Amino acid sequence: MTPTPLVQAAPAATPAPRTAEVSRNTAETQITVRVNLDGTGQAKLHTGIGFFDHMLDQIARHGLIDLDVQAVGDLHIDGHHTVEDVGIAFGQAVHQAVGDKKGISRYGHAYVPLDEALSRVVIDLSGRPGLVMNVPFKSGMIGSFDSQLAHEFFQGFVNHAFVTLHIDNLRGENAHHQAETVFKAFARALRAALTPDPRAAGTIASTKGSL
């Protein structure tokens, strides 16, 4: 009797890398942002604003996103254009890298403490830009970073990543701690939302069928 040949299962397809590169060049800033949403948290950052680089590093490290941001801006005026435009370019890069959003968890949330400070961030990769941010910073400046610019960064991000984002600093007395908990919680929430849901492979987490 001729033995029945063994049928080997086809190897599982390797998911396409979720990467993107975006350049934004204006009379005020020249920015390049590269992201790998499935990275290990590696960061190459140069914005000319030390504390802002520190916050972007939190996004990379805690979001497990490989993030390369190279920015030259009109810092002789102030940091506004640089921070806002990095937020815009980062949002565009995330939007491109995430693709059609099939199989992702869509929602993410995180609470992060740092000493006396505690922040909560909730994100929905909804396809609709929206930002609600309640962070009563205790200081106007954190190093050379104007604390008001945290809002401008996240506004630029949500407008171009097409996400809904709620940010609340629940308590805090030190502005550095407040900002760091916000950026860390954002990173953790974004990471959760981007994570594939094994029970929803190939589907979109919406009754509309699109995000």
The answer to whether residues 138 and 175 touch, using CB atoms and an 8 Å cutoff, is yes
pLDDT in tens, 61-75: 999 999 999 999 999
Number of domain units in the chain: 1
In a domain, 11, yes or no: no
In a domain, 207, yes or no: no
pTM: 0.92
The residue range of the domain holding 107 is: 19-200
pLDDT in tens, 157-196: 999 999 999 999 999 999 999 999 999 999 999 999 999 9
Residue 10 has pLDDT above 60, yes or no: no
CA-wise closest residue to 83 among 133, 30, 47, 58: 47
Residue found under tokens 């909560």: 120
Q: State how far the Cα of 204 lies from the Cα of 200, in Å rounded to an integer.
A: 7
What the block records as the tokens of 153 is: 């960064």
In a domain, 13, yes or no: no
In a domain, 210, yes or no: no
In a domain, 34, yes or no: yes
**CATH, residue 190:** 3.30.230.40
